[in-house]
Structure 1
Amino acid sequence: MYKDILLPVDLNQDSSWKSALPVAIDHARAFGTRLHVMTVVPDFGMTMVGQFFPKGFEKKAVEACQSKLRAFIDTEIPKEIPTQCIVAEGTVYERILDLAKKLKIDLIVLAAHRPELKDYLLGPNAARVVRHAACSVLVVRE
């Protein structure tokens, strides 16, 4: 049923993957699919933000994040599951949606916390992904 599964994670927030990771692994095993694990680095190159960081900071941040994501995959995902490591830059929900479209993802598995009042006003990344994704989205609550 699924050929490609996307698992977005925030490496600085265990809650972004603790509940979703086992579900993504189970689905990948059950369907014999490839698991695309991604994280998003903020866009430091924006003029407003970029001026506060030293030259070359963005490249170093992406490289460090890629290394950290590979270590995460090696530690948390069983070797028999084909896995792709992806580091994107920009706005979290936009990068998730862009990548899902580009890779023709069949299922996005992501964790979500219990909504607070501020989430109803601002809209969390999970809600935006669910609303705009062209594929199935499985939201796993904590």
Structure 2
Amino acid sequence: MYHKILVPVAFDDDAKIEAALDIARVLAAEDAQIVLLHVIEHVPSYAVQYIPEDLRKAAHDGIQAELKRLAGTVPGGRGVLIEGHAGRTILDYVDEKKMDCVVIASHRPGMADYLLGSTAAQVVRHAPCAVMVTR
């Protein structure tokens, strides 16, 4: 059983989120912390001026509210929202917070994934802890 579980969350497929949370619940020790992490990619400086600040704030607030709701469905759950590159930010968070397990959803790889690598593949290759991948 794991005590510090990280579940990276991408809001593109709710079924994958639920599958990852189900696995986290099974793997969690009685006193476990389960952190749901969403990484917002940096908006390039040349594009940020075209996105209204109130729209960015509304998106940020909406994501935080959904993370809080989802975190309430798992014991010891909490949501964290960070800005950065998804793969590198997840790995940095694992190192910084000394997570002992990552439960991450993956998708069927496309051509770009073979050339560049997916976030899940990057986490699997470089995480210093156990990684469970769900599809």
- What TM-score do the two structures reach when normalised by structure 1? 0.82
Residue 12 in structure 1 maps to residue 12 in structure 2: yes
RMSD after superposition = 1.9
Partner of 2:113: 119
Alignment partners' CA distance in 1, 2:12 and 2:69 = 13
Provide the TM-score with structure 2 as the length reference.
Answer: 0.86
Q: Say if 1:35 and 1:82, in contact at 8 Å, map to a contact too.
A: yes
CA deviation vs aligned residue, 1:31-63 (integer Å, no higher than 9, x gap): 54110111122223x312212212354343222
Q: Which runs of 5+ in 2 are unaligned?
A: none
Contact residue 11 and residue 69 of structure 1 kept, 8 A: no
CA distance in 2, matches of 1:108, 1:135: 7
Q: What aligned pairs does 1:44-83 form with structure 2 within 5 A after superposition? A: 44=43, 46-74=44-72, 77-78=73-74, 81-83=75-77
How far the C-alpha of 1:15 sits from its partner, in A, is 4.6
Q: Structure 1: which 4+ aligned runs deviate by more than 4 Å? A: none
Q: Identity of counterpart residues, as a percentage?
A: 34
Greater share of strand residues, 1 or 2? 2
- Paired with 1:91 and 1:20, the residues of 2 have a C-alpha distance of 21
